[in-house]
Structure 1
Amino acid sequence: MAAGSPNAYTPADTRAAVITGADSGIGRATAVRLASHGMDIGITYHCDREGAEATAEEVRGHGRRAVVAAMDLTLLPGAVDVIDQLAEELGRIDVLINNAGTGTATSFLDLDHATVREVVDVDLIGPFLCGQRAARRMIGQGDGGRIVNVTSVHEHQPRVGAAPYCAAKGGLGLLTQVMALELAEHGITVNAVAPGEIATPMTGQEDRDVRAEKRPGIPLGRPGDAREVASVIAFLAGSEGSYVTGASWAVDGGMLRMGPMAGSHLDSDAWRRP
């Protein structure tokens, strides 16, 4: 790239992070947070290139480099070549955030194979293969790294109508633990972040003031903001999280204490009283 361009690479101590599905929601919030911590950012998107470019502009607003690439995790294994592409453009990869995801609201008996395969590929097999590519590069660099897998409260507890999503997120949670064990000798930490209901496009409520949204079944009484999830991811991706690996961090306003079905379905505060 030409010197002076927004993405001109200058050898330095700067770390680089790749975030899948960073065109909106948790991915965008994480990209901006990591950029504010001094990292250059690789951004992947599925359909929303405009959203990805908007994320890139926010990253550049923090004085960091941003590169953007399309990635369709239903087209495996070839899709994960994008991890290597972004690492080459950034000059290295120190952090991988497996954030891209999809789901379905279909009863178990009505699911077809194609739908199950799509959800499992995007939510489990894709992160598996992306993690391999990133880890191999981190090992080659010789100075460790960070991998954070964005799961869900449904890594831990089920939800009616979300069989393939729950299966994939549960699998990703246990995969995280195996990765943590196997990659620890290389100085690579691997953790999961398990969001509850977060105001993002996936839940149809991005850009709302979460403090104005009532959720009686969630102990904190509201959905979460994507930036609240990003702050936990940033901790795990940074130097302060250097002794944390193989853990799953719920960012859910207490939803798991209620059970996700109760947390998202209760319509009054009656449960708060004995």
Structure 2
Amino acid sequence: MGLDILVNNAGTGTATPFVDLSLDTVREVLDVDLVGPLLCGQRAARRILWQGRGGRIVNITSVHEHQPRVGAGSYCAAKAGLGLLTQVMALELAEYGITVNAVAPGEIATPMTGNADADVHAVSRPGVPLGRPGDAREVAEVVAFLAGPDASYVTGASWAVDGSMLRMGPMAGSHVDHDRWRRT
């Protein structure tokens, strides 16, 4: 039995102002969100290299790989670090037929966001152009594409799955009247 695909899908965070972050909290978030994927990526890459037939690595980052969030300093740092690590891995592993990409979800209905059982089409999210949170299956579809044969020429990219939230800027959802924005 071999290993062809690794999806690093770990995440934890905190809603703690920067000046109040404890070193233990920072280390925990960095260990889960950055160090864990690094170590798993190394192990998987070594195995895939040994097999000699190429493979896929997909790292789940966050829109906060690209955009800061108040109260999420360690989370943003870890996910941004994982985004850059993804690019380094892509460069170093490309010659061996291993593609490495990131998927950067926005607000997705999961236990981490507190709305795991929600019907995403019935939840309003001002400041997100699609007007709702995402469904985990929508993220999974992008991961499946990147892990499959149709993405064999895609490497080193970060795919935002965020309802276009990143296009709204760092304060998306905090001050935008979504209904007014849609009408203009």
| TM-score relative to the length of structure 1 | 0.65
| 1:199–1:206 CA contact under 8 A, matched in 2 | yes
Counterpart Cα distance in 2 of 1:225 and 1:264: 21
SS at match of 1:194: strand
RMSD: 1.2
Deviation track 1:92-144 (CA, whole Å, cap 9, x = no partner) reads 21100000110000000100000000001110011011100000000011100
In the alignment, what sits opposite 2:113?
203
Quote how far apart the aligned CAs of 1:262 are: 1.8
Q: Residue 95 of structure 2 corresponds to which residue in structure 1? A: 185
Provide the identity percentage. 79
Letter of the structure 1 residue corresponding to residue 49 of structure 2:
I
Contact 2:3 2:47 in 1 (8 A): yes
Match of 2:47 among 102, 120, 137: 137
Q: CA deviation at 1:269?
A: 2.2
Note the 1:3-22 alignment, pairs <5 A.
none
CA distance in 2: counterparts of 1:179 and 1:117, whole angstroms: 23
Whether the aligned pair in 1 keeps the contact of 2:56 and 2:147 (CA below 8 Å) is: yes
Cα shift at 1:268: 4.2
Counterpart residue type for residue 130 of structure 1: C
Q: Quote the residue 1:124 is aligned against.
A: 34
Looking at structure 1, the residues matched to 20 and 135 of structure 2 have their Cα atoms a distance apart, in angstroms, of 32
Q: Hey, what does 1:214 align to over in structure 2?
A: 124
Q: 1:271, CA displacement in angstroms? A: 3.0
The CA deviation string for residues 10-49 of structure 1, in whole angstroms up to 9 with x for no partner, is xxxxxxxxxxxxxxxxxxxxxxxxxxxxxxxxxxxxxxxx
- Does residue 262 (structure 1) correspond to residue 172 (structure 2)? The answer is yes
Contact map agreement 2:110 2:117 (CA 8 A) in 1: yes
Structure possessing the higher relative contact order (Cα contacts under 8 Å, 6 or more residues apart): 2
What residue is the counterpart of 1:157 in the other structure?
A: 67
Q: 2:56 aligned with 1:146, yes or no? A: yes
| Amino acid corresponding to residue 163 of structure 1 in structure 2 | G
> Does residue 1:113 correspond to 2:23, yes or no?
yes
Q: Secondary structure at the match of 1:263?
A: coil
| Shift of residue 259, structure 1, vs aligned partner | 2.2
Does the CA-based 8 Å contact 1:98-1:148 persist in structure 2?
yes
Any conservation in 2 of the 1:123–1:169 contact (CA below 8 Å)?
yes
Please give the secondary structure, in 1, of the residue aligned with 2:117.
coil
Rounded Cα–Cα distance in structure 2 between residues aligned with 1:239 and 1:203: 32
Q: Which runs of 4+ in 1 moved over 4 A?
A: none
AA in 2 matched with 1:237: A
Give the TM-score normalised by structure 2: 0.96
Matching residue's letter, 1:165: Y
Cα shift at 1:208:
1.4
